[in-house]
Structure 1
Amino acid sequence: MNAPTIRPATAADLPEIDRIFRTSFCDTFAHLYQAEDLAAFLGGFTPAGWTAEFTDPAYAFAVGLIDGEIAGYAKLGPNKLPHVESEGTVELKQLYLLKAAHGSGLAAQLMEWALAEARRRQARRMALSVWSENWRAQAFYRRFGFADRGPVTFMVGNHPDEDRVWEASL
């Protein structure tokens, strides 16, 4: 396996980004939900929705490749989370990898891209949310200087999850 690489996403990458999102989300979380709640949640992610975010200059996407194949991505956008000051804050909306990419260093590279892109956009802070029981993700974000700021409800269909809002100064 070659070292992972990062590049800006293109519109042509959106179907693969969608596939990685669905695969990673389901691999990690599907067991927590009733089928109808999971289907309702995933149904909110459409080709038109991905395209609208991709073409909105308030968002930024990068993909991570291993051996020339997209194995993960990161997406930044406007902060919608509580517990952090909105002005000057960018939100890490998504950072997903396929299971085969775990341990490859790709997640760290995508996180470095996200932090650099937030700084390029002159953000002073980055916020994100993570499931309250996703200890692996929380340890990962802690390594990048993020701290827990409080709870937020994350809906998957009609199922409320407790996520935690994390924030880092840039």
Structure 2
Amino acid sequence: MNYFQLFSLPETFSVDKSVLANTYRELQKQYHPDKFVMLSDAERLTAMQKSTEINDAYETLKNSCLRAQYLLLLAGLDIALEQRTLQDTDFLMQQMMWREQIESFSEDDEDEIDAFSANIQQQVNDLESNIGQQLQEEALEATANSVRKLKFMLKLQTEIEQLEEKLFD
């Protein structure tokens, strides 16, 4: 089943997260395996599978990167498990600079880390905006490249969070 159809949402990159969350809760109430305890093994298995599908769909649709990958998949381009690397030399150079910057931060750099983190968040926002536009234009390869960049940026955000925990907790 198409995840967007399951949640009665249009197949677009932009998703109303409150509608998504409310629909998720309603679907979980309806299909939660605990409601099927007294039924046959086959019916319990079906309920478990439906509940799992609902959880997978929710996790995919609430995450911008996974949602973009899913939309690409629906359009016939599967990049989820690819090993292909990004060919954008400028972006690769920027990655190295960001990683060097992260490695250089110390406990004394809290303001600089906050500014760096805000810059990375802006980059993520810009990529998400680009992805939405590229999907509208059905520019699948461009979208795939933007998703590859977004994956890196989200990993970088995680690294920043880990650095902050290490330095300030």
TM bucket, shorter chain? under 0.3
TM-score (norm 1): 0.24
Say which structure is richer in strand: 1
Say which structure is richer in helix: 2
TM-score (norm 2): 0.24
